[in-house]
């Protein structure tokens, strides 16, 4: 079972969006186009466009109009990935021979800026200023989330509140905004689009918690990167926070730093998996999903509601 | 004579904008606030806010409303400076002991993103979607300009057209947009705000050409950096392009690369100053200024028009 199967009835519209994304990042500058296309072809679940479309189904669904909003939201997500990559390149550079030339990293930074700006151009297809306010607030929170993620690295004295605030900013708000702005673009009434924001927020929280669990429990093949990369890079995730409550585990985890070797990380991950940290993390993810499902109960009944319910449930169970 | 004296009658309003800029970049994240405040306190001519205000004087001037737009435009300029700094740090790192820690550069990148996002929040105080379209187009062009500037470094086979297109994107369009969006925020009629865009574009071109001349002719003290920094960093500016038409100078200039020593740069600059390259550059700047002044002739007569005229003239004569 794959997530994409849950929204297969949207396939034609998603394909349109895929084409438009390609158009969006085709620029007169060849190096810009190459860098962006590379990113686009790497694919992705297109979760944000899917939520834009499904939310718009609560109103006057017009694919030609809502398409622009879906493209805008996915471009913002892509731009933030590009800026994450700028950083990753910087780190790889330290030890690896596959060093990118200095100006490649600069171009990557401006490519991210360019994709952001293109997203804003697409957004102007929607005239409702409230949508623009939601998006700009979202982008502010996203940036603060990214900065906090950097600052909180290897800080093992942080608490659950720090973690939840960070994933809210980093992930949940953009999914919430996708739902709400998608709805606004289809003239969905305020009472409904505000609920869709809350739905997206709770699903987004569960989505990120699940991601953080999978980083420890999935295989390298499933993840496309070594398991435990988060901990190795100093990102303190929910299972790690729970594991820190165990004194013996805590003594091991707080030793982790930039110089920790892979075998130590593997051993710590093994112990975390033997503790109750994973189960407790799943439980918190489930609480967010339950809230999302409760919010759906208040929304007008239609076929879309069932899809949103299926997607929310899937997110809680997905294996990668 | 200082540029700021020409708009001293706007001082109270500029002071308000200065205060708002400080508010705008005060965030809950201390490192973000410190980095942004540092930039703010470094000052600047606040050219973009001045053009926003002056253009708004052609309509229903309301400082409380236009203030937000002036702040937005200056924040976008500041954000692009922050991203330029990310790059500069990277270069300084190569030889200097004052290396910034790796995560400082990451924070700098996200600080730039954050300031961009804050700018967008301020922009949403204006409901006219046309203003948002102009701004997002401007940002796209700005990014392409930045990327081209990196790609065109040390390319001495570029022509006048490449240079003009680059400075249009890098500098002139944002000044043009400041004029036009300022006007739109004050409900200035389309025929007038389109002229103000053209005025800003021509002034912006002259402004950048003058900057590029001063990089060669001003002293290190006036510039706050060594003279000829542009050429040393591989930025091919207008005087350099004109100098390349002289065979002997061309033979010297095309040798310039990352490893060229300062004394060689100084010698080349000395020769460029002896050629007609500086005078020809001034002449082209003057042509843009004349166009700007001609455009002003078509605008409604008021006190503001005189200020715009004075500022345009000053830009052509400024010594630093």
Residue by residue, DSSP assigns B173-217 as HHHHHHHHHHHHHTT--HHHHHHHHHHHHHHHHHHHHHHHHHHHH
Instruction: Please tell me the predicted confidence (pLDDT) of residue A229.
Output: 86
Which chain A residues are Cβ-neighbours of B27 within 8 angstroms?
Answer: 144
Which of B137, B143, B169 to probe the A interface (max A CBs under 10 A)? Answer: B143
Contact criterion met (CB < 8 Å) for B135 and A120: yes
Chain A residue with minimal CA distance to B91? A102
- State the Rg of chain A over Cα: 20
Give the torsion sign (CA, B120, B126, B128, B130). negative
Contact criterion met (CB < 8 Å) for B151 and A29: yes
Mean pLDDT on A57-79: 95
CB B176 within 8 A of CB B52: no
State how far the Cα of A241 lies from the Cα of A164, in Å rounded to an integer: 11
Instruction: Please tell me the predicted confidence (pLDDT) of residue A3.
Output: 72
Instruction: Please tell me the predicted confidence (pLDDT) of residue A132.
Output: 96
Which residue is it, tokens 């975390």? A272
Select the residue of A28, A113, A146 nearest B83 (Cβ to Cβ): A113
The model's pLDDT over A219-270, given as tens digits with 9 standing for 90+, comes to 888 777 788 889 998 999 999 999 999 999 999 999 999 889 989 999 999 9
CA A181 to chain B, closest CA, distance in angstroms equals 15
Chain B residue with minimal CA distance to A79? B113
CB A78 within 8 A of CB A48: no
State how far the Cα of B267 lies from the Cα of A288, in Å rounded to an integer: 68
Q: What percentage of chain A exceeds 90 in pLDDT?
A: 65
Instruction: Please tell me the predicted confidence (pLDDT) of residue B96.
Output: 37
Which parts of chain B have pLDDT scores under 50? 90-101
CB A3 within 8 A of CB A311: yes
Mean pLDDT on A66-82: 94
Select the residue of B83, B136, B142 nearest A109 (Cβ to Cβ): B83
Query: Which 8-state DSSP code applies to residue A170?
Result: I
Which of A78, A113, A114 to probe the B interface (max B CBs under 10 A)? Answer: A113
Which chain B residues are Cβ-neighbours of A162 within 8 angstroms?
Answer: none
Chain B residue with minimal CA distance to A126? B129
Which chain B residues are Cβ-neighbours of A32 within 8 angstroms?
Answer: 144, 147
Chain A residue with minimal CA distance to B127? A129
Which residue is it, tokens 């790192």? B93
pTM summary value? 0.90
- State the Rg of chain B over Cα: 20
Give the torsion sign (CA, B46, B47, B52, B54). positive
The model's pLDDT over A164-212, given as tens digits with 9 standing for 90+, comes to 999 999 999 999 999 999 999 999 999 999 999 999 999 999 999 999 9
Q: What share of chain B is helix, strand, coil (3-state, %, to 5)?
A: 75, 0, 25
Instruction: Please tell me the predicted confidence (pLDDT) of residue B95.
Output: 40
Which chain B residues are Cβ-neighbours of A143 within 8 angstroms?
Answer: 110-111, 113-114, 117
Chain A residue with minimal CA distance to B120? A136
Round the average pLDDT of chain A to a whole number and report it.
88
CB B17 within 8 A of CB B70: yes
Contact criterion met (CB < 8 Å) for A113 and B148: no
Contact criterion met (CB < 8 Å) for B109 and A127: no
pLDDT band at A88 (very low <50, low <70, confident <90, very high): low
* Helical residues (DSSP H) of chain A, grouped into ranges: 3-6, 11-24, 30-41, 47-56, 63-95, 102-123, 129-151, 160-167, 173-185, 190-217, 220-223, 229-232, 238-243, 247-253, 262-274, 277-297, 303-317
Which chain B residues are Cβ-neighbours of A114 within 8 angstroms?
Answer: 140, 143-144, 147
State how far the Cα of B191 lies from the Cα of B309, in Å rounded to an integer: 19
Is residue A90 predicted with pLDDT exceeding 60? no
State how far the Cα of A113 lies from the Cα of B107, in Å rounded to an integer: 15
What token pair was written down for B124? 């949403």
Contact criterion met (CB < 8 Å) for B113 and A116: yes
Residues with Cβ within 8 Å of residue A239, at least 6 apart in sequence: A212, A213, A216, A272, A277, A278, A280, A281
State how far the Cα of A141 lies from the Cα of B82, in Å rounded to an integer: 19
Give burial (CB, 10 Å; 0-12/13-18/19+) of B102. middle
b (16+ CB within 10 A) / e for B298-315: ebeeeebbebbeebbeeb
Which chain A residues are Cβ-neighbours of B146 within 8 angstroms?
Answer: 110, 113
Instruction: Please tell me the predicted confidence (pLDDT) of residue B299.
Output: 93
Which chain B residues are Cβ-neighbours of A104 within 8 angstroms?
Answer: none
State how far the Cα of B151 lies from the Cα of B235, in Å rounded to an integer: 10
CA A147 to chain B, closest CA, distance in angstroms equals 6
CA B154 to chain A, closest CA, distance in angstroms equals 13
Instruction: Please tell me the predicted confidence (pLDDT) of residue B102.
Output: 52
Q: How many other C-beta atoms are found inside a 10 Å radius of the C-beta of residue A274?
A: 11
Select the residue of B28, B83, B102 nearest A90 (Cβ to Cβ): B102
Chain B residue with minimal CA distance to A137? B121
b (16+ CB within 10 A) / e for B258-286: eeeeeeebeebbebbeebebbebbbebbe
Instruction: Please tell me the predicted confidence (pLDDT) of residue A185.
Output: 97
Instruction: Please tell me the predicted confidence (pLDDT) of residue A60.
Output: 95
Contact criterion met (CB < 8 Å) for A110 and B143: yes
Higher pLDDT, B5 or A314: A314
CATH number for the domain running over A3-317: 1.10.600.10
Q: Please compute, for residue A118, the number of CA atoms within 13 A of its CA located in the half-sphere on the CB side.
A: 27
CA B173 to chain A, closest CA, distance in angstroms equals 14
| Cα A304 to the center of its chain, rounded Å | 22
* Among A76, A77, A300, A213, CA closest to A308: A300
């Amino acid at each position: 079972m794959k997530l994409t199967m849950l929204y297969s009835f949207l396939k034609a519209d998603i394909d349109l969006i895929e084409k438009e994304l390609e158009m969006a990042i085709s620029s007169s500058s060849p190096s810009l186009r190459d860098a962006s296309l590379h990113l686009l072809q790497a694919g992705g679940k297109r979760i944000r466009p899917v939520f834009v479309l499904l939310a718009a189904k609560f109103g006057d669904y017009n694919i030609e109009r809502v398409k622009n909003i879906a493209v805008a939201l996915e471009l913002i997500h892509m731009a933030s990935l590009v800026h994450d990559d700028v950083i990753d390149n910087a780190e790889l550079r330290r030890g690896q021979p596959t060093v990118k030339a200095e100006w490649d990293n600069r171009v990557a930074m401006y490519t991210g800026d360019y994709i952001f700006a293109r997203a804003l151009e697409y957004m102007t297809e929607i005239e409702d200023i409230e949508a623009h306010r939601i998006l700009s607030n979202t982008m502010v929170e996203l940036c603060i989330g990214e900065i906090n993620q950097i600052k909180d690295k290897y800080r093992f004295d942080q608490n659950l509140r720090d973690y939840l605030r960070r994933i809210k900013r980093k992930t949940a708000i953009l999914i919430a905004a996708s739902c709400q702005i998608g709805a606004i673009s289809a003239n969905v009434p305020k009472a409904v689009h505000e609920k869709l924001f809350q739905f997206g927020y709770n699903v987004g929280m569960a989505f990120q918690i699940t991601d953080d669990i999978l980083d420890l429990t999935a295989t390298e093949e499933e993840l496309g990167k070594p398991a435990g990369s988060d901990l190795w890079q100093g990102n303190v995730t929910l299972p790690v926070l729970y594991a820190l409550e165990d004194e013996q585990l805590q003594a091991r985890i707080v030793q982790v730093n930039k110089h920790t070797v892979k075998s130590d990380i593997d051993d710590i991950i093994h112990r975390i998996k033997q503790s109750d940290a994973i189960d407790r993390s799943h439980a918190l993810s489930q609480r967010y999903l339950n809230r999302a499902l409760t919010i759906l109960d208040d929304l007008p009944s239609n076929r879309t509601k069932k899809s949103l319910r299926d997607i929310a449930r899937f997110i809680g169970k997905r294996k990668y």
